[in-house]
């Protein structure tokens, strides 16, 4: 009788543990590896981890630094990452190529403000280029060809009344761009923070704020997953990410502090940089605008159904 009671008790314990392995206090958390670029844009996920927002969702989060959106997408599709961060154009391109990517949360957005955004096109102080219209036919650096940089720079030129058709884009990593501008290797550079502030401190002059020109409240990048990820885990990751975005947007001083923990930006520059915006919601209209611009520029080969990427 005692033995039978013990067997029943053991069975009940196994059933209880098996039903919700992550729900019990002290239970095993889901191990999640997120592929994220170590830049200003991704401050919310680092801040959210530090604040315990992922732990609240029973997620043990590892943030793995990647070089760019292409590496993030490759890592997610291969199963190395359950979630990752990539810019809008990279994700649209991946979707067009038939890759199983789906947005789960906003990543980072433009401030939409001329003169106060985290992305700009800069020239030397003595350059004859005065406005975005003058960029027509010039040599401009971008960190990656056929991506969000050249698409939005062209948008700036068109908005100013110029013809972007003759622009020669040169692929240069952001850290190398300010020196290339100083040496005259290129006529202008497109950079994001902290390289905007770095170049400005060296005397560079802004002639376009390309993210702000391309679309109001431009969604620049997003967090995504693939069909391999458990739906319940995706739901919890998204909840933690949304809380992280909301917190980062409301606490710029804490954002500047967390930047010191995962980037190599000097504290002096961190104090001065233009921070982006981190709204909780993706601006779907701006994603469609980027898709349309990329199609017109030949970056995308066919029209992408944005609703398939951003549910």
Is 82 a member of any domain? yes
Instruction: Say how many domains are in the chain.
Output: 2
Domain for residue 22, yes or no? no
- SS3 for 85? strand
61 is a domain residue:
yes
Cα 12 to chain centroid, rounded: 46
Same domain, 73 and 205: no
Tell me the CATH number at 152: 3.40.190.10
Tokens of 150: 């050249």
Q: Are residues 105 and 171 in the same domain?
A: no
Q: How far is residue 298 from each of residues 98, 288, 293, measured CA to CA in Å?
A: 18, 15, 9
Contact 304, 92 (CB under 8 A): yes
Can you give the pLDDT at residue 27? 65
Kindly state whether residues 197 and 257 are assigned to the same domain: no
Domain interval for residue 92: 31-110+217-266+277-308
Q: Are residues 142 and 177 in the same domain?
A: yes
Domain end marker among 214, 231, 252: 214
Q: Report the alpha-carbon distance of residue 44 to residue 111 in Å, rounded.
A: 16
Query: Which pair of tokens denotes residue 231?
Result: 């739906």
Q: Are residues 88 and 134 in the same domain?
A: no
Residues 189, 141 contacting (CB under 8 angstroms): yes
- pLDDT by residue, tens only, the chain of 311 residues: 444 444 433 443 333 343 333 443 446 899 999 999 999 999 999 999 999 999 999 999 999 999 888 899 999 999 999 999 999 999 999 999 999 999 999 999 999 999 999 999 999 999 999 999 999 999 999 998 999 999 999 999 999 999 999 999 999 999 999 999 999 999 999 999 999 999 999 999 999 999 999 999 999 999 999 999 999 999 999 999 999 999 999 999 999 999 999 998 999 999 999 999 999 999 999 999 999 999 999 999 999 889 999 98
Task: Indicate if 253 and 192 belong to the same structural domain.
Answer: no
Domain assignment present for 13? no
Does 16 reside within a domain? Answer: no
DSSP state of 27: P
Q: How far is CA 151 from CA 110, 112, 124, 157, 293, in A?
A: 15, 16, 22, 10, 7
- The token pair at 76 is 């997610």
pTM: 0.88
- Output the pLDDT for position 305: 86
Considering the domain boundaries, does residue 8 fall inside one? no
Q: Are residues 208 and 123 in the same domain?
A: yes
Q: Which of 171, 194, 214 is the last residue of a domain?
A: 214
Residues 131 and 209 in one domain: yes
Please indicate, yes or no, if residue 6 is contained in any of the structural domains: no
Tell me: do 228 and 209 sit in the same domain: no
Sheet holding 101-109, edge to edge: 59-66, 30-37, 83-87, 219-226, 101-109
- Domain annotation covers residue 23: no
178 shares a domain with 105 = no
Is there a single domain that holds both residue 235 and residue 303? yes
- Judged by phi (left if over 0) then psi (alpha if -120 to 50, else beta), residue 112 lies in left
Residue 177, C-beta contacts closer than 8 angstroms, at least 6 positions apart:
141, 143, 186, 189, 190, 191, 195, 199
Same domain? 158 vs 208 = yes
């Amino acid at each position: 009788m005692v033995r039978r009671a013990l067997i029943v008790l053991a069975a009940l314990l196994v059933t209880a543990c098996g039903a919700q392995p992550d729900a019990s206090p002290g239970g095993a958390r889901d191990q999640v590896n997120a592929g994220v670029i170590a830049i200003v844009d991704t401050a919310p996920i680092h801040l959210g981890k530090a604040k315990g927002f992922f732990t609240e969702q029973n997620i043990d989060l590892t943030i793995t630094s990647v070089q760019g959106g292409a590496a993030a997408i490759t890592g997610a599709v291969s199963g190395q990452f359950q979630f990752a961060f990539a810019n809008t154009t990279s994700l649209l391109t991946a979707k067009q190529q038939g890759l199983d990517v789906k947005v789960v949360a906003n990543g980072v957005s433009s401030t939409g403000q001329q003169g106060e955004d985290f992305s700009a096109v800069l020239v030397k102080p003595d350059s004859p280029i005065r406005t975005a219209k003058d960029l027509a036919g010039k040599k401009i650096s971008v960190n990656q060809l056929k991506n969000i940089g050249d698409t939005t720079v062209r948008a700036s030129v068109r908005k100013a009344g110029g013809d972007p058709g003759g622009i020669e884009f040169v692929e240069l990593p952001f850290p190398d761009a300010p020196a290339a501008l100083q040496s005259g290797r290129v006529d202008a550079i497109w950079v994001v923070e902290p390289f905007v502030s770095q170049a400005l401190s060296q005397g560079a002059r802004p002639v376009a704020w390309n993210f702000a020109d391309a679309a109001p409240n431009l969604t620049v990048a997003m967090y995504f997953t693939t069909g391999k990820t458990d739906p319940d885990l995706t739901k919890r990751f998204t909840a933690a990410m949304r809380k992280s975005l909301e917190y980062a947007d409301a606490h710029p001083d804490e954002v500047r502090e967390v930047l010191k923990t995962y980037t190599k930006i000097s504290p002096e520059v961190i104090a001065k940089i233009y921070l982006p915006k981190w709204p909780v919601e993706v601006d779907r209209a701006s994603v469609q605008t980027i898709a349309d611009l990329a199609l017109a520029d030949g970056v995308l080969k066919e029209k992408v159904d944005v609703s398939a990427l951003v549910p």
